[in-house]
Amino acid sequence: MKNYLLLVALLLPIYNWAQSPAEAQWAEKGQRQIGIRTGAGVNTRTGFLRATPYGNYFLTERWALRAEGRYELYGPNGSWYMGAGLATRYHFLKIYGFSMYAQAGYFYGFEKERKREFLFSWSKMITERYNYGMLNLGVGAQYRLGSRWFINGQVEKNISRFDNSNVTLGVGFRIR
């Protein structure tokens, strides 16, 4: 019981901070944003979970430059991708807390893919590693749930050696 009380005592200040309003509106010229987005999605090869720390700098009220990291965990076999990139995002529709945007960028990363190889009556797990860059084009929508939280959905086309498409849905938190 003491452990649960200690956990609640430690998490209560974090909960209160997460519910506090951010110091500026969502998208103003010259504004910097830092946050993290988590979500799940599918691509042309498998399903995945994604964690995305990001930083935005708004050149205008609708146009932002974005630095983004990505960590993706694929399917049940333990394959994963980790990378980072630069993108530009233009919010072409903004109505109250809803926004639709187009995104273009370049990401470079490292992927570890685990596959099962079958030979006659036995099989073994093999691991392949890839370093590659990809051009990323996408459209998405986000809905603000206050000044710090948002729901985000995105469709992307990654032009790389795998040439896959992603659909993700997630929730994000704006730290600054």
Cite the DSSP H helix spans in the chain. 2-19
Beta carbons within 8 Å of 46's beta carbon, 6+ residues apart? 74, 75, 79
Domain ranges of the chain: 2-174
pLDDT in tens, 120-157: 777 777 888 989 999 999 999 999 998 899 999 999 99
The radius of gyration computed from the CA coordinates of the chain, to the nearest angstrom, equals 19
Report residues of the chain scoring pLDDT below 50.
7, 11-12, 15, 17-18, 22, 24
Residue 89: HSE in the Cβ half-sphere, 13 Å Cα cutoff: 26
- The pLDDT of residue 119 is 74
**Structure tokens, 42:** 């599918």
- As its CATH architecture, domain 2-174 has Beta Barrel (2.40)
Q: Look at the pTM and tell me if it is higher than 0.85.
A: no
